[in-house]
Structure 1
Amino acid sequence: MKNIFILYTLLAIVITGCNDDFLDVAPGDKLTDVSFWKTEKEAFDALTAAYATFSERGSVWSTWNTYLFAAGTMTDDAEGTYNSFQDGSIGPTDGTVEALYKELYTNIRICNVFLANIDRPEMDETLRTRFIAEAKFIRAFHYSILRNNWGGVPLITDPLTPSELNVSRSSAAEVTAFISSELTVAAAVLPASYGAADMGRATKGAALTLKARTLLYAGNYEDASTAAEEVMTFGYDLFQDGTGEGYLNLQQKPNEDNVEVVFAVRYNNPDTFHRYLVRVYPQNHTHPGGENGAVKISQSFVNAFETTDGKTIDDPISIFDPLDEFANRDPRLNMAVLKKGDMLSGNPLAGSTVDASNNTGYYARKLIQDEGFHGWDRYDRDIVLMRYAEVLLIFAEANIESGSISQSVLDAINDVRARAYNTTRADVANYPSITTTDQNELREIIRRERRVELGMEHGDYRLNDIRRWNIAETVLNGDLNGAKDGTGNYRFIKNLSFDASKHYLWPIPQREIDLVGSNILSQNPGY
């Protein structure tokens, strides 16, 4: 049942509708009204508004939600939405930078209002404590996006009055410590699971997964491993459905709330819906939902998938066939990527869909599924933001980087790889298992595994990975290519440009600096 998670609510609209900058005080809305905050039902409604920060709100086209599904187009994985992040022209007045920064702080303010007032209603104390933990999780999630993209940011934990607007930046380490601490507190309170009526709420597993992810990104490998390992005791598993395509189908609407899902944003048409299908559906391919084609997969992403013998395609003894690039490849390639001739909505992708000069020729199959479509801009498949495969890969990478390489590390990687081949870890004859314990070899394996397992999902995995691995200046400089054209050459799409002296962090929006003052809110280097 989803009745308890109708994310698009009047409360969510009212509290977010009038903010001009990220420190604005919400104008006389219900969540700050003295007549509010009296009953348990009002506390529940206010927390629902906090959960609504994960979703698009009615007719509002959210920069934050666009970022979730299209962050791959800021990297070498795809093309289509964020040109300024790929061509190096990003700057302090970039509209996406400004809008995302503002939206995240608006979302944080909703959580701050909730946490500042939750002591007021007459309600069950155990429920109040759990509500606080849920709000802390939501706020920590938004702070994690700020920390990943901007480094140190203003750390605001209370609803501010006009006299308190001048807030300087905390360091990236301080923001990381805050997120970790908040999630530790939340995890101690949150349950491991809920009944059907409460599905979709933050769980202990969600809090610890976000903590593990945050600490991994920050290079705190020991604590990241500890958090991930605890999640591995909660009963999650990798989804298999007997079709051989569990890797793909775990994202589909009929399989919502499956055993692999750790945290997902929930939707239920007609009350709640999103527009992802409209945005990513291939151009010129018949569908009543529209054809924006905003995410087009690169040849680089296609090349990342190994052959079925466990070798990379540039290995001289691999079984890669340059004349049939999708043959004898890791099964996840065909589940992740749509190409010319593949069937979609009952029709094959034809030349007009994939052969245009500005088109890579590939689309993200993971994001394009017909089930859950209810009309032009109404799509209500849940959006999975955390799943168990990521937990296993966090555990493995954290231990590889710390030098704590044991059989459990190989098991975690092999569990993920075996699922791709519709088998289990012990069935080593039917998938290319990993046996090496060499740290450098495992480092390359786990990095490739993260790219192909998590690529093009609703998140910013690749963006954060290439920055924290310090390889962005390598992979984001040079040509971004698509599939081979009629001459047999890979189609040039655009030139990528990344300046290592500044692009590892995004610029603080100039508008925010002008509002607060450059002596208080400092700019990141190079902008």
Structure 2
Amino acid sequence: MKKNIWTLLIGFVLLTSSCNDLDLNPLAEGSSENWYSNEVEIEMALKDLYRDIFWPMDSEDWTDDYTYRETNSSIVNGTLNGQDGSVTSLWTNQYKAIARANTILANMEKAASKGINQSRIDLYIAEASFMRACMYARLVSHFGDVVYLTEVVDIETAFTIGRTPKADIIKATYADFDKAAAGLPVKYSGGSQRATKGAALALKARFALYNGDWSVAADAAKACMDLNVYKLHSNYTKLFLTTTRNSEESIFVIPRSITNKVTIGNGTVLNTVSRNPGGWAAMDPSWDLLAAYTCTDGKPIDESPLFNPHEPFKNRDPRCNATIVEFGSRHLGFVYDPHPDALEVLNYNTGKMQKNNDNRANAQYASFNALIWKKGVDESWLENGKDADPDKIIIRYADVLLMYAEAKIELNQIDESVLDAINRVRSRAYGVDKAAVNDYPAVTNQGQASLRKILRTERRMEFAKEGLRYMDLVRWRLATKALTNKSYGILYPAALLREKVTSKGLWFWPVTPKLDEDGIPDFSEMENAGQITVLSKRNWDDRQYLWPIPTKEVLINDNLSQNPGY
């Protein structure tokens, strides 16, 4: 165990091969005692920090946007503990990256003595500072007070270091982001995807937003916007496809590669892809998410006259159909139709009708709530042994615009720039210019309370399936409400669904669910009428607003305290 901690805190550089100008796979190991003697070695050490494992994303299954049949994650079940794999892997991998960034920074004096140009050293310092800032930002956002190290320490010291107050780490992390923003280039030649000034500013804004530092967040987001190097991708649907690489909207991404075996993983593909083309359709969007998309008049479904619960995809914000597969539409070579009477569907590859395995009347394990993901999913997911390698988008320009708007709303500094930021994101979803106010529901209301509600809904619609919902629920303190309700699905077996719903003309939803002030839907009327089924009960525990420190770390360090409730 002590050996693991030593590896975690002191770890040396893993050299890696390159893909898209970043290293994705380790080649060999080097020692900090004989490394950093030339630019090649330092570059390799820095590129190691772009490995996928150091850039985890919060899982959708920690949120109300997701269902996995009748099963909840430990977070949604309220059973998160210090042995949980999500807890231990986040802690371990972030500290590995911190140790390596610290080692690089500690060797810059030696690099200077080897004759490396000072401008290059300044760039290396900025890049390593960026990496350290990002790692601490993630640790603090999940654990609160954590161990804070800026130097390489010996093994005896490692076992005695306690937690540093979150407030102190926040200040130090802002300073690292500032150092990175000052020293990193606005962009690289040749399409390199390494950290830039914009990435430092954008991720500083996100960290500040998570900590409620509205002025810091607004200023950092505005500085990123003022670089004038990013713009929204013209097509929301295509932005997330494997074929869209390093988009003009992407501020910081980690490239994936089938060749280098850095992918989203066969299991993720199979769980996401529907059953007709060979997937499992087990990880699906929730009914809560479907209910969250506004109608084309900008109103929520329980207020808009445009919403019809029997045709839930009609007259919705375009991001709804871009994220969730519409019933009766073409998807991965088949018509997608979960209606219990649709026993056959068209196979576009053969031009013939065939058995519909996306229907629970034919296949018990078809989607339990009839919904499947569309966002980012295309025919390439059926290739390469059902694996895929889209860019891992860490942060994109739409997020910067909405972070700026949110920070200004919370500061109650609402002006046209706030409305402009929201409308730029919303109009892109409709495929029109923001000035075309007759072609999309432009935001014009300037009241703080109403704009806060609009902004939060906008984030949910824009960033579904991108790993951002979890921290939004945490920082808005909405997990207490959103993750203590029920996850619903269609009745099973099909005979019961026909009896209670479809034979009475009530497919898909019998009635329109009501939404509360936070956009949380109430399906109890349908549940009480026996028209839908409860897939699972969510059981969030408020102690989880902070994650537990990994148990093994607490056990070997008497100075490392645990978070309350664990």
Q: TM-score range by the shorter chain?
A: 0.7 to 0.9
CA distance in 2: counterparts of 1:77 and 1:248, whole angstroms: 18
Contact residue 233 and residue 248 of structure 2 kept, 8 A: no
Report 1:38-117 matches (<5 A).
38-52=37-51, 55-56=52-53, 68=57, 71-80=59-68, 83-117=73-107
Which of 492, 496, 516 is the matching residue for 2:557?
516
In structure 1, the residue matched to 2:334 is: 347
Q: Give TM-score scaled by structure 1 length.
A: 0.86
Contact residue 297 and residue 482 of structure 1 kept, 8 A: no
Q: C-alpha displacement at 1:416, in angstroms?
A: 0.7
In structure 1, the residue matched to 2:323 is: 336
Which of 162, 181, 198 is the matching residue for 2:175?
181
In structure 2, the residue matched to 1:323 is: 310
Contact residue 277 and residue 368 of structure 1 kept, 8 A: no
In structure 1, the residue matched to 2:23 is: 6
SS where residue 394 of structure 2 aligns?
strand
Contact residue 269 and residue 388 of structure 2 kept, 8 A: no
Q: C-alpha displacement at 1:2, in angstroms?
A: 4.7
Amino acid at match of 1:430: D
Amino acid at match of 2:318: P
CA distance in 2: counterparts of 1:377 and 1:283, whole angstroms: 9
Deviates more, 1:106-115 or 1:505-514: 106-115
SS where residue 296 of structure 1 aligns?
strand
Q: C-alpha displacement at 1:319, in angstroms?
A: 1.1
Tell me the number of residue pairs that the alignment of Structure 1 and Structure 2 aligns.
485
Structure 2, unpaired ranges of 5+ = 1-17, 339-356, 502-530
Report 1:296-315 matches (<5 A).
296-315=284-303
Q: C-alpha displacement at 1:134, in angstroms?
A: 1.3
Cα pair distance change 1:233/1:483, threshold 3 Å: farther
CA distance in 1: counterparts of 2:290 and 2:248, whole angstroms: 28
Q: C-alpha displacement at 1:133, in angstroms?
A: 1.2
Contact residue 280 and residue 367 of structure 1 kept, 8 A: no
Structure 1, unpaired ranges of 5+ = 12-28, 57-63
Which of 221, 224, 227 is the matching residue for 1:231?
224
Deviations 1:130-180 (A, max 9, x none): 122112212221222211111111112223321111221112222222221
CA distance in 2: counterparts of 1:342 and 1:438, whole angstroms: 39
Report 1:19-418 matches (<5 A).
29-32=29-32, 34-52=33-51, 55-56=52-53, 68=57, 71-80=59-68, 83-121=73-111, 122=114, 123-165=116-158, 166-196=160-190, 199-241=192-234, 246-276=235-265, 278-281=267-270, 282=272, 285=275, 291=279, 293=281, 295-315=283-303, 317-349=304-336, 351=338, 352-353=357-358, 355=360, 356=364, 359-371=368-380, 375-376=384-385, 378-418=387-427
In structure 2, the residue matched to 1:499 is: 541
CA distance in 1: counterparts of 2:293 and 2:170, whole angstroms: 32
CA distance in 1: counterparts of 2:252 and 2:484, whole angstroms: 34
Deviates more, 1:72-81 or 1:461-470: 72-81
Deviates more, 1:272-281 or 1:144-153: 272-281
SS where residue 125 of structure 2 aligns?
helix
Cα pair distance change 1:199/1:471, threshold 3 Å: same
Contact residue 236 and residue 429 of structure 2 kept, 8 A: yes
Amino acid at match of 2:310: L
Deviations 1:174-226 (A, max 9, x none): 22222211001100011111111x51010100000000011111111011101
Cα pair distance change 1:484/1:199, threshold 3 Å: farther
CA distance in 1: counterparts of 2:135 and 2:490, whole angstroms: 36
CA RMSD of aligned residues (A): 2.4
Deviations 1:221-250 (A, max 9, x none): 011101101111122444344xxxx11211
Q: C-alpha displacement at 1:267, in angstroms?
A: 2.7
Contact residue 20 and residue 192 of structure 2 kept, 8 A: no
Contact residue 546 and residue 563 of structure 2 kept, 8 A: yes
Cα pair distance change 1:318/1:148, threshold 3 Å: farther
Q: C-alpha displacement at 1:378, in angstroms?
A: 4.8
Amino acid at match of 1:94: D
Cα pair distance change 1:301/1:8, threshold 3 Å: same
Within the alignment, does 1:525 sit opposite 2:564 as a pair?
yes
Q: C-alpha displacement at 1:445, in angstroms?
A: 0.4
Q: C-alpha displacement at 1:379, in angstroms?
A: 2.7
SS where residue 230 of structure 1 aligns?
helix
Q: C-alpha displacement at 1:407, in angstroms?
A: 0.8
CA distance in 1: counterparts of 2:447 and 2:274, whole angstroms: 48
Contact residue 210 and residue 475 of structure 2 kept, 8 A: yes
Contact residue 242 and residue 388 of structure 2 kept, 8 A: no
Deviates more, 1:157-166 or 1:38-47: 157-166
Contact residue 297 and residue 361 of structure 1 kept, 8 A: no
Cα pair distance change 1:385/1:396, threshold 3 Å: same
In structure 2, the residue matched to 1:425 is: 434
Contact residue 88 and residue 498 of structure 1 kept, 8 A: yes
SS where residue 255 of structure 1 aligns?
coil
SS where residue 540 of structure 2 aligns?
coil
Q: Give TM-score scaled by structure 2 length.
A: 0.80
Amino acid at match of 2:63: T
CA distance in 1: counterparts of 2:244 and 2:127, whole angstroms: 24
Contact residue 257 and residue 263 of structure 2 kept, 8 A: no
Contact residue 237 and residue 376 of structure 2 kept, 8 A: no
CA distance in 1: counterparts of 2:136 and 2:489, whole angstroms: 35
Q: C-alpha displacement at 1:339, in angstroms?
A: 5.0
Contact residue 23 and residue 48 of structure 2 kept, 8 A: no
Q: C-alpha displacement at 1:341, in angstroms?
A: 4.0
Contact residue 248 and residue 335 of structure 1 kept, 8 A: yes
Amino acid at match of 2:27: L
